Structure 1
Amino acid sequence: MLSLFCTSMARGGQFSDSVKVYNAGINGNNTVNLLARIDRDVLRRNPELVVLMVGTNDMLHTDKSLGMEQYEKNYQELISCLKKKADLVLMTIPPVYAPYLVQRKPQFKGDLKAPQARVDSANMVIRRLAAKNNCKLVDLNTILTACGGANTDKESLFQNEANMGIADGVHPTANGYKVIAAAVYETIKDCKPGVKSVVCFGDSITKGYRMQGEGKTEGDSYPAVLQRMLNQHL
């Protein structure tokens, strides 16, 4: 699966050398935080396209987790605000490695099924809202699960003790970000091939936690890889 997406990254496309991608990811953000900064970090840039991924902290953060009803309400508000100004691509949130999470998240009380169940519930909301609002959807969870999901292997697309020296299980590796960028690239190529400006809006997964160039569009985060792809510099 990884080789399939990496092959797609090398193909020529219909994009010019002037596509600008903005990395609007911030560590620890949930839907409440995104709503609070949507004008400053997204709308003032007048993007043609916004790629939205949010929900990991709404589901898993010890202090910022929300009930499903509030999460859906906030997510719909984000969609409504963004669609007034730009085209919108939604992404489901990635799978997680539950044993790491239950070690450091007291709210799960050692229940290994609980973290992924929360992620799955959020993704049901995202898929439903994508259909309801006629938004393009990148089913990132399905893609990354097909690539092996989050596990403890050194080759995992998620940060773990074997590849990054950290019991993370939530944030992608550099190779994981290549897969994400390729999936977004293929969607943009299909739905908006002449795009000139893209804002990637989200939390630490968008920001590129622990990656080279974290929070920027140079380095290994998915917005950085996406910008290179759109400008055909890979």
Structure 2
Amino acid sequence: MRNLVFLLSLFIFLFTSCKESSQKEVENEVEETSAEENDSENTENKKTILFFGDSLTAAMGLDPSEGYPAEIQEKIDSMGLNYEVVNAGLSGETSAGGKNRINWILNQDVDVFVLELGANDGLRGIPVAETKKNLQEIIDVVREKNPEVEILLAGMQIPPNMGPEYTSAFRNIFPSLAEENDLYLVPFLLEGVAGVAALNQQDGIHPTAEGYEIVAENVWEVLAPVLKSKE
């Protein structure tokens, strides 16, 4: 960059007889080059928030721009925080599927990792111990590859179809993991949305765009202080 400025300065000095308009053009080019380099540096220095989840993260049935990760990015940008959101949601994903693809997903440094998996396990009646074990393995891999990472765990609940014992045990997976691993916990991702027909699509499971605005607020309440502390 210094060499570039030096050469341009020399060019201006040698041709001082040129018209003022020509000198202005050179100065403008210098300014544009500096601006482009600054933009490039800002992009390279951005910290990464990775949302790793299932169809709730992928915004199934909607454009991804209407999902809660996109809503979070808007909040980040409005506050001028230096973070970039990566949406790694995959519809139909279970905790086992997430465990199998986590190494592939972690092909970049991650500063904040938001883990939203387990709902499909619960709906399929997968043993609670198995779901918890898979989530624990994901957490372990994330920390091994990114020792300084902050992890947010999205709590989930399921309808009582599987019986009260299973339902209760499933709900307790998330606060238990959060306590054992010192994670930040979103108590229930779909708080204020689950069971509200107007905020869910026709399947009654996946939020509408309006529903995702509430989901984003649920996540932001926990995430915002974390991001500010890492600035």
Answer yes or no: is the 8 Å Cα contact 1:19–1:195 preserved in 2. no
* CA–CA separation in structure 2 for the residues paired with 1:45 and 1:93: 27
Aligned residue number for residue 200 of structure 2: 158
Query: C-alpha deviations, 1:91-116, integer Å up to 9, x for none?
Result: 112555xxxxxxxxxxxxxxx64278
Q: Which runs of 4+ in 1 moved over 6 A?
A: 9-14
* CA–CA separation in structure 2 for the residues paired with 1:87 and 1:27: 24
TM-score under structure 1 length normalisation = 0.57
Q: CA distance change for structure 1 residues 70 and 11 in 2, over 3 Å: closer, same or farther?
A: closer
Q: Pick the aligned partner of 2:89 from 19, 25, 34.
A: 25
Correspondence list, 1:118-157, <5 A: 118-141=166-189, 144=191, 147=192, 149-151=194-196, 153=197, 155=198, 157=199
State the shift of 1:150 in Å. 1.2
Q: Pick the aligned partner of 1:178 from 180, 203, 213.
A: 213
Q: Pick the aligned partner of 2:121 from 47, 58, 64.
A: 58
> What letter corresponds to residue 100 of structure 2 in structure 1?
A
State the shift of 1:12 in Å. 9.0
* CA–CA separation in structure 2 for the residues paired with 1:72 and 1:12: 31
State the shift of 1:45 in Å. 2.1
Q: In terms of Rg, which structure is larger?
A: 2
Answer yes or no: is the 8 Å Cα contact 1:49–1:195 preserved in 2. no
Aligned residue number for residue 135 of structure 2: 75
Q: Does 1:44 align with 2:99?
A: no
Runs of at least 5 residues in structure 2 that lack an aligned partner in the other structure: 1-71
* CA–CA separation in structure 1 for the residues paired with 2:78 and 2:168: 35
> What letter corresponds to residue 195 of structure 2 in structure 1?
A
Correspondence list, 1:209-224, <5 A: none
Q: CA distance change for structure 1 residues 13 and 37 in 2, over 3 Å: closer, same or farther?
A: closer
* CA–CA separation in structure 2 for the residues paired with 1:11 and 1:22: 14
Q: CA distance change for structure 1 residues 45 and 12 in 2, over 3 Å: closer, same or farther?
A: closer
* CA–CA separation in structure 2 for the residues paired with 1:47 and 1:16: 19
Q: Does 1:93 align with 2:156?
A: yes
Secondary structure of 2:228's counterpart equals: coil
Answer yes or no: is the 8 Å Cα contact 2:157–2:170 preserved in 1. no
Answer yes or no: is the 8 Å Cα contact 1:56–1:119 preserved in 2. no
Secondary structure of 1:150's counterpart equals: coil
> What letter corresponds to residue 187 of structure 1 in structure 2?
V
| Aligned Cα root-mean-square deviation (Å) | 3.0
Q: CA distance change for structure 1 residues 35 and 21 in 2, over 3 Å: closer, same or farther?
A: same
Count of residues in correspondence between the two structures: 156
State the shift of 1:120 in Å. 4.1
State the shift of 1:51 in Å. 0.5
Secondary structure of 1:185's counterpart equals: helix
More helix per residue: 2
> What letter corresponds to residue 158 of structure 1 in structure 2?
N
Between 1 and 2, higher relative CO (CA 8 Å, sep ≥ 6) is seen in 1
* CA–CA separation in structure 2 for the residues paired with 1:133 and 1:188: 17
Q: CA distance change for structure 1 residues 94 and 173 in 2, over 3 Å: closer, same or farther?
A: farther
